[in-house]
Structure 1
Amino acid sequence: MLTVGSVVLGARDVPGMVQFWRAALDYRPREEPSDDWAVLVPRDGQPGQQIAIMLVTSVADPAAPQRHHLDLYASEQAGEVERLLGLGAQRVEWDYPADADYVVLADPDGNRFCVAQK
């Protein structure tokens, strides 16, 4: 049987992404991050999936669709979106369906993620 060990995000600025995702998710580094790799885990006793951040050197087209993203669930979606924007996230222009319960944002490195109303 397989289990998910980490969700891995590619980044051009690993220290910057560590700073953003630590604050966004209230996570901590599993061990001291390096300039090209970090693993973030929930604070002791908190539920959540481990997130790894890996240095990528390829210059991807920012307009190209991503194949993977995080869905973050929030009980107070509007407040969380504003908090994440304050941490450096950016709004993404998106064609939302009429019944959308999510907002698409991008972290400071351009990785898209959704904040969904729980």
Structure 2
Amino acid sequence: MACRISELILECADPERLAAFWCEVLGYVEIGREDDGGIEIGPPDVGFGGPQPTIILSPGDVPPATKPRLHIDVNPTDRDQAAELERLLALGARPADVGQTGAEDWHVLADPEGNVFCLLRARVRPV
């Protein structure tokens, strides 16, 4: 038997704002609220335990200024990378510099609170 990732927890200053951002990025919906003000989001009509992990936006400290040890990678599902980059920037993502050379075939971005994530080139099928 093996484990599988069921949830990702992201500490943030404004769970409402980040939940809205990541719901738009991933096509997720709000599936629950935590007593501490956290918001759980996940795929519509699936929720916890489905093939994709849910994300809990948990109230917490501002992320450290150093490069995080873990980040999220996303792939476009219904458009090419350039069109998806344009969409993500319109949602509030911004380019981030983590020391990349510029020759990479992915884009490093930050969400509205500065959490780094990457937009990869390959298009994947929606789940």
Q: TM-score range by the shorter chain?
A: 0.7 to 0.9
Contact 1:9/1:52, CA 8 A, preserved across alignment: yes
**Identical positions, percent:** 30
Please give the TM-score of this superposition, normalised by the length of structure 2: 0.78
Which residue of structure 2 aligns with residue 109 of structure 1? Answer: 113
The gaps in structure 2 that reach 5 residues or longer are: 123-127
Structure 1 residue 67 and structure 2 residue 69: aligned? yes
After the TM superposition, which residues 2-21 of structure 1 pair with which residues of structure 2 at under 5 Å, given as runs? 2-21=3-22
1:95–1:37 CA distance, 2 compared to 1 (3 A):
same
Instruction: State the AA in 2 paired with 1:3.
Output: R
Q: By percentage of residues, which structure has more strand?
A: 1
* Secondary structure at 1:117 match in 2: coil
Contact 1:15/1:35, CA 8 A, preserved across alignment: no
Aligned match for 2:52, one of 35, 48, 71: 48
Alpha-carbon separation, structure 1, partners of 2:35 and 2:24: 18
1:60 Cα deviation from its structure 2 partner: 4.2
* Secondary structure at 2:3 match in 1: coil
Alpha-carbon separation, structure 2, partners of 1:14 and 1:33: 11
The gaps in structure 1 that reach 5 residues or longer are: none
Please give the TM-score of this superposition, normalised by the length of structure 1: 0.84
Supply the RMSD in Å over aligned alpha carbons. 2.3
1:76 Cα deviation from its structure 2 partner: 1.1
- The count of corresponding residues between Structure 1 and Structure 2 is 116
1:42-89, CA deviations, whole angstroms, 9 ceiling, x for partnerless residues?
A: 1226963211111113x4442x11111101012511111111111111
Which residue of structure 2 aligns with residue 76 of structure 1? Answer: 80
1:30 Cα deviation from its structure 2 partner: 1.2
